[in-house]
Chain A
Amino acid sequence: MIERQNRRQRILIITLVIICVLLVTVYSRESKDGLFHRLQRFSLDVVSPLQKGMSTVLSPVKDGIGYLVDLGKARGERDRLREEVEELQDQVDETKELELENEQLRQMIAYQESRPDLELLAVDVIGANPDIWEQTIQIGAGYSSGLQEYMAILSEDGSLVGRIILCTSESSLVQLITDDKSSVGAMLQENAEMGVVKGEGGGSVRLELLNQDAEVGTGYLVVTSGLGGTCPSGIPIGTITEISERRADLSVGIVIEPRARLTRLSRVMVVVSPPPTTTPLAAEAGG
């Protein structure tokens, strides 16, 4: 019984396949006006109004699918544009950085031309001391670049930043003029009155004049005196912003705002020549 059924199945499939092959053969050989070609054209004529009607009915579905397809494309486009924006933003940041660097270098060159007596070396600032009690920065050059302790450090516009207090082969530690252990020989540019600029630890510095009766006023520029042998003379330190009453020891409290932007240093200049000849004032005083 099952065998007979299987035989009938085989006969059916073979018959259907033979019919298909015959149809394909006849269709391929007949002309465009042949029976089967005409049958196809007639069928399409019959079904086309139906297709048109269904197309109208289903147009919202079609639009929905189109929207989904577009959404997929839009996501890809969004991701591509995001990447492009990120790349362009990186380029803009890089350009800004280069512009800043260029400006700093221009200022350094201009300063070097104005002070031919100094030999300067531009060095990158590579870090700051995390300790709040020490006002120091780290620069990316040391012994191997010809640096040594007590050399003066200037900002890009030639203002005094501080001096090297520790030198390794590839980096150096710079004590800022605001550090409370810092002392620099100074003078008033207006009348050449001599004094010492000392750091106060909090971002400001004060001037102690040797002559307590010397004429002094706000806005006066304070420059290095060259005494002490660590800083060459004539380097701007800052401007007097405040003069307080005479204290118990009869000295006048003179507050100076440093000219160098000590919190935004990215590159500095090291005064390589003339080299420091003596220890700094603070070192002499045991500070």
Chain B
Amino acid sequence: MHRRLTFFVILVVALLIQLTVSPEISFGTVKPDFLLVATICWALLEGPAQGALFGFCGGLLEDIFSTAVLGVSAFAKTIIGYFSGELRQRVISKSVIWPMVIVFIGSIMQELIRFASWAMVGLEDRPPFSIGIIAGLALYNALVTLAIYPVIGHFAGGEERALMFQ
């Protein structure tokens, strides 16, 4: 029950921040993806299944509250949430740098999956592919992780907290 409530609260708060705060703290066109950061942080604490579920719900809500192709963000975040959870079980180090590195890589992967998906559905007015913007987004998300990961970790159960990166 505690886990479900935490899941729901984090999801709603991340969505609200994504919709309201994120556009206000953008650097040029680069704005942080709080839902992706929350997905990866949740996956790192709760494992692949929870990560995939969080990513799916977060991505779907993001799609609903935007004009993007419905299901694309959900798809990308589901995959990233799952693999982030899988990765946690293979990283022995407890350095806090790891969540940042995983978010950095996850951000790049998400954008690549989104561009590939848009290309596959034949979306005509898709944005121009820019390595610079993707790298900027990945870096911004990695920095945001420093603030979000401890907050999400605070709500995690005792067992999960023992696995936290310090």
Contacts and interface: CB of A to CB of B under 8 A. Distances in A.
Interface of A: 8-9, 12-13, 16-17, 19-28, 36, 39-40, 43-44, 47, 50-51, 53-55, 58-59, 61-62, 65, 69
Given A39-B64, A50-B16, A54-B20, A61 B25 contact: yes
A interface, over-half SS: helix
B67 interface: yes
Interface string B1-29: 00000000000000010011101111110
Contacts of B27: 65, 69
A50 B65 CA distance: 12
B139 interface: no
B24 A20 contact: no
Interface stretch (B46-54, B125-133, B150-158): B46-54
A16 B53 contact: yes
Contacts of B121: 24-25, 28
Contact of B70 (A36, A51, A65): A36
A223 to B, nearest CB: 77
B24 A24 contact: no
Contacts, number: 96
A17 B69 CA distance: 15
B36 interface: no
A21 B71 contact: yes
Contact of B67 (A28, A40, A53): A40
A229 B56 CA distance: 107
A99 B4 CA distance: 85
Contacts of B82: 13
B28 to A, nearest CB: 7
Nearest to A30: B70
A116 B65 CA distance: 96
A55 B56 contact: no
B106 to A, nearest CB: 16
A17 B78 CA distance: 7
Interface string B57-86: 001100111110111101100110010000
B65 A20 contact: no
B71 A51 contact: no
Contacts of A9: 48-49, 52
B70 A8 contact: no
Contacts of B66: 40, 44
B64 A40 contact: yes
A25 B66 CA distance: 17
Interface of B: 16, 19-21, 23-28, 48-49, 52-53, 56, 59-60, 63-67, 69-72, 74-75, 78-79, 82, 117, 121-123
A16 B52 contact: yes
Contacts of A47: 19, 65
A161 B24 CA distance: 76
A245 to B, nearest CB: 87
A43 to B, nearest CB: 5
Given A23-B71, A24-B70, A8 B49 contact: yes
A38 B66 CA distance: 11
A26 B70 CA distance: 9
7 contacts: A12-B52, A13-B48, A16-B78, A20-B56, A26-B70, A40-B66, A55-B24
Nearest to A46: B65
A9 B89 CA distance: 14
A20 B74 contact: yes
Nearest to A69: B27
A13 B21 CA distance: 30
A8 B52 CA distance: 12
Nearest to A51: B20
A54 B53 contact: no
Nearest to B19: A47
A31 to B, nearest CB: 14
A21 B64 contact: no
A24 B75 contact: yes
Contacts of A21: 71, 75
Nearest to A62: B24
